[in-house]
Copies of this chain bind each other. A is one copy, B any other.
């Protein structure tokens, strides 16, 4: 029996053009708590779970971020992100790619480090309903990316072996988590990372965006 590939998609920066709004929202939160951090350093942490992001930030800057402060930062971030939601649109080819997979009877699931509320904002840009798609959010698992939990839960939801899953993501955290889960990482540049960063983190192939991936689907997907 030939293996059938199933797809696990990151959401932010992979299906929706929302990474830069996410960066701006974290910047606003950190500024409000007088934690100075350059934008590019925030950008490089997007896609991690919020908790892990603050923990690694805490370690790297030597700042002591208390649990109470972390909660406050998360809350301000969520408010700022919601305020920017009118700017968020689908990335080129995202919906067409999902529909093509459905037509070709290839399973797909969305796996996001964000919580349900943030996910709903992004799904809206894709004109998808939360209850009508397979999706695993940060609220469903113990650990976000780069831990493998989200992807393992996604494979489980689809009822397929994780080894036959392709994880499509824009961040090195997607690629690391894919490797840790024994899935195959496929990078997209649409979150603002470079091809080199994604390849160094274990991507098998890197495409510009969902549209470019769709144009090269035969390179990675099993045949119908």
Contacts and interface: CB of A to CB of B under 8 A. Distances in A.
A84 to B, nearest CB: 10
Contacts of A24: 20, 24
Residue of A40, A89, A193, A194 ringed by the most chain B CB atoms within 10 A:
A40
Where chain A touches its partner, the secondary structure class is: helix
Contacts of A197: 194, 196
Nearest to A43: B192
A92 interface: yes
Contact of A196 (B39, B191, B194): B194
Copies of this protein in the complex: 2
Interface residues of A, number: 27
B194 A194 contact: yes
A218 B79 CA distance: 45
Given A23-B20, A24-B24, A40 B190 contact: yes
A33 to B, nearest CB: 15
A19 interface: yes
Nearest to A42: B20
Interface of A: 13, 17, 19-20, 23-24, 27, 36, 38-40, 43, 87, 89, 91-92, 189-197, 200, 209
Q: Which 7 A-B pairs have the closest CB atoms?
A: A196-B196, A194-B194, A40-B192, A20-B39, A194-B197, A17-B38, A43-B192
